[in-house]
Structure 1
Amino acid sequence: MFFGTYTPKMDDKGRLTLPAKFREELAGGLVVTKGQDHSLAVYPRAAFLERAQKAAAVSRTNAEARAFVRHLAASADEQFPDGSGRITLSQQHRAYAGLSKECVVIGSMDFLEIWDAASWERYQAETEEQFSTAENTMLEDLM
């Protein structure tokens, strides 16, 4: 499981150092793909393959399912962190997420999200009220 907020800097080559506490879980490989709200999603390789198998099983006659599978598969970039825990983000991924040098990596339970720092701040400000409302709703549903 991935928790917390970290603020690594991306270098000019698009390399980003992943938080040390996550490196063991990602040592077997990882997959970077488009995430929601113009973030990037980083899954442990095994978890991504499981997700991909489930997505592939959905009927392709459904236009939304077809679009989801295409975006998921086309944007997937399998990687292995180097000895320093760095991954290289493709130009396409950097453009999609609007990444600058200042990045934020957040734990999102079963995967990581990579955000541009300014975009993350805006997102938090815009969704603070939703967080409070959702917490109450989700807790009711879970209990």
Structure 2
Amino acid sequence: MLFGEYQHNIDKKGRVIIPSRLRDGLGEQFMICKGLEENRCLYVYSLDQWEALTERIQQMPTAKSRTLKRFLYAGAAELECDSQGRVLIPANLREYASLEGTVYIVGASDHAEIWNSEKWLEVSEKTTPGLVAQLMEELNF
């Protein structure tokens, strides 16, 4: 399970440190793709989770899966951390998510997300305890 909120800087080459707790859950190699959030973050999946996602998408009717496949797979990349725990985020994905300077890397259970810091703070501010309480009620929790 991937969890936690971490702040790191993207260097001039487009590299960012993936926190060791998240690296442990993601494995040596992992996938990165455009996120489905309105605020344009990136999703990071372990290879096992990526395969599970792919299997579920393959089971969808072709017409429905076509757009999803194009969105997720066209810009996706397989990454591996260097000896210092850094990955090079491809330029197209950095541009998509407006990543530069300080970014937030957050665990989201089955995947991690990489956010532009301003966008993450906006989303965090909108996620009020009241909203979370309503969602927890739906789980009968």
TM-score, length basis structure 1: 0.88
Alignment length, in residue pairs? 138
Higher-helix-fraction structure? 1
Secondary structure at the residue paired with 1:84?
coil
Distance 2:107 2:56 in 1: 22
Q: Which amino acid aligns with 2:41?
A: S
Report whether the alignment pairs 1:137 with 2:134.
yes
Secondary structure at the residue paired with 1:53?
helix
Deviation at 1:115, TM superposition (A): 0.6
Report whether the alignment pairs 1:7 with 2:10.
no
Distance 1:76 1:49 in 2: 13
The answer (yes or no) to whether the contact 1:28–1:45 under 8 Å persists in 2 is no
Identity of aligned residues (%): 27
Q: Which amino acid aligns with 2:73?
A: A
Deviation at 1:12, TM superposition (A): 0.6
Deviation at 1:76, TM superposition (A): 1.4
> Hey, what does 1:114 align to over in structure 2?
114
**Cα RMSD (Å):** 1.5
Unaligned 5+ segments in structure 1 are: none
The answer (yes or no) to whether the contact 1:56–1:69 under 8 Å persists in 2 is no
Secondary structure at the residue paired with 2:11?
coil
1:44 paired residue among 46, 54, 61? 46
Q: 1:137 to 1:122 in 2, by over 3 A?
A: closer
Once the two structures are superposed, residues 9-50 of structure 1 have per-residue CA deviations (whole angstroms, 9 ceiling, x without a partner) of 111111110011222222331100001230000111111111
> Hey, what does 1:22 align to over in structure 2?
22
The answer (yes or no) to whether the contact 1:27–1:81 under 8 Å persists in 2 is no
> Hey, what does 2:58 align to over in structure 1?
56
Q: Which amino acid aligns with 2:130?
A: S
Unaligned 5+ segments in structure 2 are: none
TM-score, length basis structure 2: 0.89
